[in-house]
Amino acid sequence: MIAYKDDLSFRRIVNVPKRNLGERRIKFLEEFAAEHNCPLYDALMYTIEDDIFKRTKAPQFIKLIESFSANYADRPISELLADILDKSGYEEALRTEGSQERLDNIAELKQSVYDYERTCGEESMLEHYLTHIALYTNTDTEVKGDKVKLMTVHAAKGLEFPYVFLCSLSEGIFPSKKTNTMEKMEEERRLAFVAMTRAEKRLYLSEAEGRNLDGSPRFPSRFVLDIDDSLLEHTNKPDDCLIRDAKDYIEWTVKYMPENLDNIILPAGQRVRHAVFGEGTVMDVDNNKGAHIIKFDAMDTPRTISFKVKIEKL
């Protein structure tokens, strides 16, 4: 738009982000442009004082275009692109909308510009780049169709969709295996609630059976088990023994979270017995590692023993 100020570019960006320049005002500009045989952008500049453009951001749009048109030829394309995305508010609007696909497209565009500049060096100009890229893509003639939109749960906040597929609802994935405190677990639970409530008509939940990469058993997420079974329709209902093992595992992980260790941590000086190392004395506690530091009678060097290892008090 800043290079050619053509009608196609004008139509694509004049109301992106929203500037209250909808169909009625565009039709007004089209009629003026046809009558005076001028481009739509010129029509906007000629009629900007008209009452129809009150309470719109048309003046800011003109100011934006003019400010970049004045010096774009003297600036690197990558710098120009970054400045346009920032001052136009386009990238911020996409983040607010959660339009991850378009944000990914912007990232690809930035990389394309960097690659072009690296190839052409100081001779690279905006018009040359636009001509170059037009040989490879034409998004205006792209055939639209049904698509599956992939996004993170964070990006989906505030959005709703007719059908939502929430995948990988397994312990260690959602909630993450890095969730090691009750506070973090509640944040994961809130995130799961956000994900599930994005669905307007139907919500599909999935998890995989088998084992994790480290060979440990894979259990269904506690967020699925927390849902009343009468609200679920199972394609392949998990075995009762799997559900029982999953609940035992979840109870075990909660037991060893820092907030619940008061009854597990042993004080320094406590005499203990280990099934393999024998008797010893607790020297210290390492909360970061979740372990006791124990000097066993039969060993010269203290050993770090996890809170999760069974130790008998003497």
DSSP string, 12-78: HHTTSS--S--HHHHHHHHHHHHHHT--HHHHHHHTTTSGGGTTSSHHHHHHHHHHHHTTGGGS-HH
pLDDT at 311: 84
Report the alpha-carbon angle 297-301-302, nearest 5. 75
Q: Any idea which residue has 């639970």 for tokens?
A: 189
**Maximum CA pair distance of the chain?**
100
pLDDT at 236: 85
Residue 293 burial (CB count, 10 A)? 16
Residues β-bridged to residue 72: none
Query: Is the C-alpha dihedral spanning 74, 79, 85, 89 positive or negative?
Result: negative
Helices 90-97, 100-120: inter-axial angle, 10-degree rounding: 150
Token readout for 191 is 């995130």
Q: Report DSSP state, residue 3.
A: T
pLDDT at 104: 86
Contacts of 225 (CB under 8 A, 6+ apart): 243, 246, 247, 250
Contacts of 31 (CB under 8 A, 6+ apart): none
pLDDT at 197: 93
Tell me the C-alpha to C-alpha distance, in Å, between residue 18 and each of 90, 270, 279: 9, 68, 73
Evaluate whether 313 touches 272 at the Cβ level (below 8 Å): yes
pLDDT at 26: 92
Distance from C-alpha of 231 to C-alpha of 225, rounded to nearest angstrom: 11
Per-residue pLDDT of the chain (314 residues; tens, 9 = 90+): 887 788 888 998 999 989 999 999 999 999 999 998 899 999 999 999 999 999 999 999 999 999 888 888 888 888 888 899 989 988 888 888 888 888 888 888 888 888 888 877 656 778 778 877 766 654 444 555 677 778 888 878 888 889 999 998 999 889 988 887 888 889 999 999 999 999 999 999 998 877 877 777 889 999 999 999 889 998 888 888 888 988 888 888 887 776 666 667 888 898 999 988 999 999 998 877 778 899 999 898 999 888 878 888 88
Token readout for 65 is 């275009």
Alpha helices in 230-312 (DSSP H): 240-255
